[in-house]
Structure 1
Amino acid sequence: MKLLSLLFASASVVQAALKWQNVRMGGGGGFAPGIEFHPTAKGVAYARTDIGGLYRLNPDDSWTPVTDNTATDSNWQVSQTASANRWGIDAVALDANNPNKVLTAVGMYTSNWDPNNGAIGISNDKGATWSFTELPFKVGGNMPGRGMGERLAVDPKNSKIIYFGARSGKGLWRSTDAGKSFSKVDSFTNVGTYIPDPSDSSGYNSDIQGLAFVTFDSTSSLINGASSRIFVGVADKKTASVYVTTDAGKTWKPVAGQPKEFLPHKCQFEAKEKALYLSYSDGAGPYDGTLGAVYRYDIAADSWKDITPPGNIYHGFGGLALDKKKPGTLMVAALNSWYPDVQFFRSTDSGKTWSTIWNYNAQGNLDYHYSISTPKAPWIYKNFISVDTKRLGWMVEALTIDPFDSNHWLYATGLTVYGGHDLTKWDTDHNVTIESLADGIEEFAVLDVKSAPGGSELFAAVGDDSGFTFASKGVLNKSPQSAWDNPMFTTSVSVDYAGNKVGNVVRAGNTDGEAPQAALSTDGGKSWKAHGGTAASQTGGSIALSADGDVVLWSTEKKGVLRSEKEASFSSVSSLPSGSLVASDKRDNDFFYGASGSTFYVSNNTASTFSKAGSLGSASSIRDIAAHPTKAGEVWVSTDVGIFRSTNFAETFTKIGSSLTKTEQIALGRGSGNNWNVYAFGTGSAGRKLYGSSDMGKTWTDLQGSMGFGSIDGAKLAGSGNEAGLVYVGTNGRGVFWGQGAI
């Protein structure tokens, strides 16, 4: 079918960036491999995440993200399997002499998933602004071993001297100009050759693990203005894993007498004892660990002592914390005790004796020496703590005690940040109060977002935590009472609503072995039931619900395109290619749309069969489909050459202008009066970012400004169906953002 002439031959771009803020899912939603308190400035602390950037602690236990504007499309590349960007924080370091300074090692993967080298981020204003020193190698913020550390450290006696332990066999690097440049320390020769799984063809588990930590002896003498004694940990089970220099990095040697069968994870220096404490595991973490140890190294005596807690050790050790106000008091976390729960061990006598946070009693039941609650993220208790033995969490590599307050402690899991303010009760009542303390951390990987006109304001499908419904704009700043459950998918990949019956909603998950992976709601996402027509291996992909809510069209990951009517068993739709994008007309129940490659498809018989639709000109790749929320037959299509629009059920298409190209996700949302805004990610005069139009594409406004959403081809997009000028952006690691304003 013919392509109509250009509707708007040219279009201009104006600047009117919105103010962006997070939708509050609450509780974090992901893994924080490290939390660091400043050693000399009270109340200064940072949490690093593997895919969501860096956060700074606030006095009220909440957190402020400080790296949002560093993750723009230009420094985040995305593929279908992974991403690489400056939200991957592989290490964080604080300057003991400057409480305003924070440094990071950034980069996501060292495999070929990530084409970019890493960098050292430097902020002199607690994360308000950043500069970056590019490195000649990759950094792996989301790689195995990301809980080791910290790999980055500032000399406590000389702020100009910074060390970084690299991955991938790149060795030890040093800066002598406060991070402006780095050079390799050639005298340090053990590059940490442990490989988690040499047979992994993806490169994720088959890369050389590299260096684990850099720890300064702050009591050591100075040589040419630098601390003379430094310890470096490496991932090596065969020769040695802890090295020391006593001449400020000129020469290095293995520390004599050290254990060799494990990998060091955390290393903490206790100045008053002049001792190192180290946690070890037989795996790189953060998921593995079946055996491990805890050691104390007396620097003055040059002697090691095995202080591993007694008992049946079926796990490694990860998180390690020292109480700086009480030398000899320390805590260590199991890595990993997947059943019944993570274990915490505490000693007040330098590791001679230990107590635990839970234990089995004589009857074989668990005695808990804590209480736990999640008032700032109620869904964590409802959907995780109350339904699993793992009440305290898993993957605990981050464990720390406030150096100015022995009662204040924090630890991070694969889900959230926990902590409390009565830790010393462990030593008296043997009972502590634990609470989710992740308010402000939004690390969710968002797979889809939708907004139903006249219905629920926001549906957010997320990785690891199923998904969430927000009934109205008024609750966007309130953590939900529940995640999507009954059934609760590990990951929800797609969600859609029925345009004529907006209380009807469908969602899809992507986990094999968890049946079923399609669920339905008739009350706008408040409650759910499993779709009765699903079968094994029907997972993933994208899903669409007909306008009246009786037909589900599902483009699955492995089983092609499927259709179900009135909850009957799913059957194959052979006329639509496997892996197609799918969407429903939001007003006409008979019509569905599909796309594969450069071809657009349409069905007028409730997705029973599809035929090729109108031409999209020179487009070679269709990226997204957005059916108009209130107009039957109107559909907008995003392609590699820009945006197209049809008003006749895809019989013909009109190209919308030429100023926005290489577009990605597209969405329509309420504008002023009866108008609808168009939102799209693409390349315009302001670069690759989010644009909006209130005049059908005549003009485009940069809505993103300096805000970072990561890669725009991985971001998700929805316009509000209920609130004028409100738009949602789903990110891979920073949750859902919303902004509102006239275009």
Structure 2
Amino acid sequence: MTDRDPGAAVSRRTFALLGAGAVTAGLVGCTETPDEPTDRRTSTPVGGYRPVAIGGGGWVTGFAQSGAITYARTDVGGAYALGPQGVWRQLLTVAAVGDDVDPADYRVDAIACAATDARRVALLVAPSDSGTLGNLLLSKNGGVRWTRSRSRWPVAETTDGAGGDRIAFDPQDDSRLVVATGDRQLYASDDFGGTWSTLPVPSAGTGTYSAVLATSAGEGTPFPVLWLAVVGSGLWRSADRGGSWTKVHPLKHPMDRISDLQPSDGGLLLCVESMAGTGGLFRADLDGGGATSIGPSAVSARSIAVDPTDPDHGFLVPSYVDPSQVLYASSDLTAARPMWTSRRWSIGGGGSSTWPERVTLETLSSGQVRYVDDRLLYAEGMGVWDIDATGGAALLTLASSGIEELVGNSVLKPADGPLLTASFDRGVLAVTPPTGSRPTVTPLRRGFGSAWDLSVSPTDPTFVAAVLDDHQDPTGRTVHERRASGYSTDGGRTWTRFPALQKSPPADLLFGNIAISADDNDNLVWLPSNLSGTASAVYWTADRGTTWVRAHLLGLTEDDLLHPTFTLARKALVADPRHRGQFTIFGSTREGTPVLWRSTDRGASWSKVATRGLETVRNARYGVRVLAIGSGLLAVTGTSDGGVLRGTPAGDWTSDVSVRGGVALAAGPRQANGPADAVYLYAGAPDDAGLHVSIDGAKTWRRCAGPVLDLAAPVRSIAADPRASGRVYLATGGSGYAVIDVALRFMR
């Protein structure tokens, strides 16, 4: 073994803090008082944010369990512990991690707890983008408090975020653990992360390490047996802490991977996922012999659960399960050739009370499955499910209370309408009442799909439009019905799909932003995404989406960007609230210099207009969000160094850097049901992080609250309630939605 810094070989990446904070209740004032608790990083009164209880769930990818404690990890939303009332508790909070926060903490790549003391738990966390550095977090008290590794760790990125766990505790010593990292290294600690050493690794090619496990080598042996799963290579075993390795089970295809390792009576069970038809369930001899196939034929096996009270009972879930496919159960798992019975699955049993149980699940996206006490828990793309397999079928009941892992792209609160949320995977949801503990949640459509933008008419609060397109089908050609963009005439309670989308819509009319003309609900403009340069496009309609016509962009060059990437939380299109048929797009050059486009003929033609004062701005190509206030415009760039950009109709702009890192803007009333004379700004730069408000037309700002919710929450969009003074809703990038009430009466 050699001493080594796990992050020494890779340069450090710095991420701007976009969302972290405390969850409290009540009104939040925008002035400091000596007797109020303060957040040490922001020097402002703490929080006031409350989660909107959507029951959104999320892709729960795996579990860790020992004794009476069960943990869960998600692909972008943090880590949770199962409470006594069946409610999951978020573990990645500012209170638990402290001031040393990092937005890289929100994707939990691996989780493990010690068999001898489940309060000892380890997380391998990473940014949402692949190939970057993460952190190792360790807790001795079940996640009440975390300590962070002193250096960054290369974290392996799997194709779907649902790979096997890459942390293993010694089953007989809770101070010993092993971590498999993204640079194909094994790190071992004998003092619960105090010091680390590298272990020798097998010559297994260039495949990612998909799982690591430690099993007991018997009494009198100093170290456990290590098992290492390598994508495209196979399962390797070492009984001498890496001194020598033996391949126990080879994989047949370069993309095959071992996704789950479970000790059982008679051997080690391993699940092999394969797109080439070579997957399945195998059992390896714990002494190092080969592995034999013991699962159902032709199944890409994702995870296996073994009943701790009866090792003959097992339950197997495939990688992806459509309605025509099945789950599998065995009652003789220890036999040389176990028998398997198929279990047709169904959701909720007809008496479902939560909205995820009422939607049409086109596919089950499997994480892990585990027995917990007398329950069989299934981690899946919608959340955690209880499986009742006592009969001839598998009845799934949602068990995700407390997990709010939605990735929000936009949020909107129409006057007298429900709160509308636009999210990855879940499309548009209508939430009534949004501040209730058990609100009614209604999906716009019952199947899978993602929503990208919401817009309300500046003159008719009942008319709303939404953009819904499936990010798994960026061409819009595979699943045509997922092109579900449309409008509502009753504030979001009911929806109509744009008629043109039911025929032969333009191929590039996908994703992006939408806006509605003042005083004309038939006139909408759609700015699609994933286009750049001379391929950029804008579409407009004069018949409420029965037809969409491609607009003329005068002076468009290869250097122009309007909405280049659909995943950006970008709001570049806005309608003029005072003039019918007039719209603005806040575009940029490829270098990032702002370029403003204007249409005065219902969106049919566009010209570039003056942007005097923005000549030195170079950060407008990413997360720009623009807001029309009065006769002018406000814009933020979504970058940590950007200020608030304020423009006039004449084309004169100023950059206000008194608050940096603006990521979202909204306007609402100072007095209930009054005009939208309060402007809100959410900023992400560390020194300015939190919610700010202006009551003088965005000339000056006051901070009302620090960063929002838990560490898993970069803010992507905000909206003010047009009926409630000081109420603001926030869409986060992994922790669902939040609401805060700002006491504007304290402001003068």
Query: Shorter-chain TM-score: which interval?
Result: 0.7 to 0.9
1:483 aligns to 2:511 (yes or no): no
Aligned ranges 1:530-679 → 2 under 5 Å: 530-534=497-501, 535-537=505-507, 538-548=509-519, 549-557=521-529, 558=531, 560-567=537-544, 568-575=546-553, 579=562, 581-597=572-588, 598-611=594-607, 612-613=609-610, 615-617=612-614, 618-622=616-620, 623-628=624-629, 632-639=630-637, 641-645=642-646, 650-651=649-650, 655=654, 657-672=656-671, 674=674, 676-679=677-680
1:331 aligns to 2:315 (yes or no): yes
Who is 2:231 aligned against? Answer: 235
Distance in structure 2 (CA, Å) of the matches to 1:152 and 1:718: 40
Preserved CA contact (<8 Å) 1:31 1:49: yes
Per-residue CA deviations over 1:207-257 (Å, capped at 9, x if unaligned) read xxx22222222362344xx433232222233xxx2222323x152321557
1:174 aligns to 2:188 (yes or no): yes
Distance in structure 2 (CA, Å) of the matches to 1:177 and 1:566: 69
Distance in structure 1 (CA, Å) of the matches to 2:605 and 2:99: 41
Who is 2:163 aligned against? Answer: 148
| Cα drift, residue 706 of structure 1 | 7.0
1:341 aligns to 2:341 (yes or no): no
- Which is further off, 11-20 or 716-725? 11-20
| Cα drift, residue 353 of structure 1 | 3.1
Who is 1:79 aligned against? Answer: none
Who is 1:353 aligned against? Answer: 338
Q: Quick one: which amino acid aligns to residue 322 of structure 1? A: V
Who is 1:397 aligned against? Answer: 367
Task: Give the alignment's TM-score, normalised by structure 2.
Answer: 0.79
1:522 aligns to 2:538 (yes or no): no
Who is 2:22 aligned against? Answer: none
Distance in structure 2 (CA, Å) of the matches to 1:36 and 1:684: 35
User: Which of 403, 408, 421 matches 1:446?
Assistant: 408
| Cα drift, residue 610 of structure 1 | 4.1
Who is 2:352 aligned against? Answer: 375
| Cα drift, residue 466 of structure 1 | 1.2
Who is 1:252 aligned against? Answer: 244
| Cα drift, residue 401 of structure 1 | 0.4
Aligned ranges 1:445-464 → 2 under 5 Å: 445-452=407-414, 454-464=415-425
Preserved CA contact (<8 Å) 1:670 1:722: yes
Q: Quick one: which amino acid aligns to residue 583 of structure 2? A: F
Per-residue CA deviations over 1:280-308 (Å, capped at 9, x if unaligned) read 222xxxxx463322222343694644312
Partner-residue secondary structure (3-state), 1:550: strand
Partner-residue secondary structure (3-state), 2:358: helix
Preserved CA contact (<8 Å) 1:457 1:721: no
Preserved CA contact (<8 Å) 2:517 2:576: yes
| Cα drift, residue 66 of structure 1 | 1.6
Per-residue CA deviations over 1:418-457 (Å, capped at 9, x if unaligned) read 114x55xx3xx445543011122122221111222x2324
Preserved CA contact (<8 Å) 2:53 2:434: no
Preserved CA contact (<8 Å) 2:611 2:653: no
Who is 1:8 aligned against? Answer: none
Distance in structure 1 (CA, Å) of the matches to 2:576 and 2:178: 57
- Structure 1 pair 737/33, CA: closer, same or farther in 2 (3 Å)? same
- Structure 1 pair 231/357, CA: closer, same or farther in 2 (3 Å)? same
Who is 1:23 aligned against? Answer: 52
Preserved CA contact (<8 Å) 1:220 1:227: no
Distance in structure 2 (CA, Å) of the matches to 1:266 and 1:585: 55
Distance in structure 2 (CA, Å) of the matches to 1:301 and 1:74: 43
Distance in structure 2 (CA, Å) of the matches to 1:550 and 1:158: 69
Who is 1:81 aligned against? Answer: none
Partner-residue secondary structure (3-state), 2:60: coil
Distance in structure 2 (CA, Å) of the matches to 1:464 and 1:145: 14
Q: Quick one: which amino acid aligns to residue 277 of structure 1? A: L
Per-residue CA deviations over 1:5-54 (Å, capped at 9, x if unaligned) read xxxxxx998612322232222241x322212222x2x1x11111111111
| Cα drift, residue 498 of structure 1 | 1.0
- Structure 1 pair 281/614, CA: closer, same or farther in 2 (3 Å)? closer
1:500 aligns to 2:492 (yes or no): no
Q: Quick one: which amino acid aligns to residue 491 of structure 1? A: S
| Cα drift, residue 668 of structure 1 | 1.6
- Structure 1 pair 575/110, CA: closer, same or farther in 2 (3 Å)? closer
Distance in structure 1 (CA, Å) of the matches to 2:719 and 2:488: 20
Per-residue CA deviations over 1:643-691 (Å, capped at 9, x if unaligned) read 2445x6x335564754113423211233346474322233668344443
| Cα drift, residue 321 of structure 1 | 0.9
Q: Quick one: which amino acid aligns to residue 465 of structure 1? A: R
Aligned ranges 1:398-413 → 2 under 5 Å: 398-402=368-372, 405=373, 407-413=374-380
- Structure 1 pair 374/58, CA: closer, same or farther in 2 (3 Å)? farther
Partner-residue secondary structure (3-state), 1:180: coil
| Cα drift, residue 159 of structure 1 | 2.0
Distance in structure 2 (CA, Å) of the matches to 1:475 and 1:192: 54
- Structure 1 pair 399/374, CA: closer, same or farther in 2 (3 Å)? farther
Partner-residue secondary structure (3-state), 1:19: coil
- Structure 1 pair 356/731, CA: closer, same or farther in 2 (3 Å)? farther
| Cα drift, residue 132 of structure 1 | 1.5
Aligned ranges 1:189-228 → 2 under 5 Å: 189-191=202-204, 193-194=206-207, 210-218=208-216, 220-223=218-221, 226-228=222-224
Q: How many residues align?
A: 652
Who is 1:205 aligned against? Answer: none
Distance in structure 2 (CA, Å) of the matches to 1:257 and 1:356: 26
Distance in structure 1 (CA, Å) of the matches to 2:552 and 2:346: 58
Distance in structure 2 (CA, Å) of the matches to 1:470 and 1:436: 19
Preserved CA contact (<8 Å) 1:497 1:545: yes
Distance in structure 1 (CA, Å) of the matches to 2:193 and 2:423: 37
Preserved CA contact (<8 Å) 2:452 2:467: yes
Per-residue CA deviations over 1:332-362 (Å, capped at 9, x if unaligned) read 1122344613423333342533343436xxx
Q: Quick one: which amino acid aligns to residue 354 of structure 1? A: M
- Structure 1 pair 463/244, CA: closer, same or farther in 2 (3 Å)? same
Who is 2:683 aligned against? Answer: 682
1:308 aligns to 2:290 (yes or no): no
- Structure 1 pair 700/399, CA: closer, same or farther in 2 (3 Å)? same
- Structure 1 pair 148/252, CA: closer, same or farther in 2 (3 Å)? farther
Runs of at least 5 residues in structure 2 that lack an aligned partner in the other structure: 1-30, 33-41, 471-475, 564-571, 589-593
Partner-residue secondary structure (3-state), 1:665: strand
Runs of at least 5 residues in structure 1 that lack an aligned partner in the other structure: 1-10, 77-84, 195-209, 283-287, 360-367
Preserved CA contact (<8 Å) 1:149 1:212: yes
Preserved CA contact (<8 Å) 1:26 1:376: no
1:465 aligns to 2:426 (yes or no): yes
Preserved CA contact (<8 Å) 2:202 2:245: no
| Cα drift, residue 182 of structure 1 | 2.8
Preserved CA contact (<8 Å) 2:281 2:294: yes
- Structure 1 pair 466/91, CA: closer, same or farther in 2 (3 Å)? same
Who is 2:84 aligned against? Answer: 59
Distance in structure 2 (CA, Å) of the matches to 1:246 and 1:59: 39
Distance in structure 2 (CA, Å) of the matches to 1:133 and 1:656: 39
Q: CA RMSD in A?
A: 3.3
Q: Quick one: which amino acid aligns to residue 358 of structure 2? A: K
Who is 1:204 aligned against? Answer: none
Preserved CA contact (<8 Å) 2:625 2:636: yes
Distance in structure 2 (CA, Å) of the matches to 1:59 and 1:65: 14
Preserved CA contact (<8 Å) 2:562 2:587: yes
Q: Quick one: which amino acid aligns to residue 729 of structure 2? A: Y
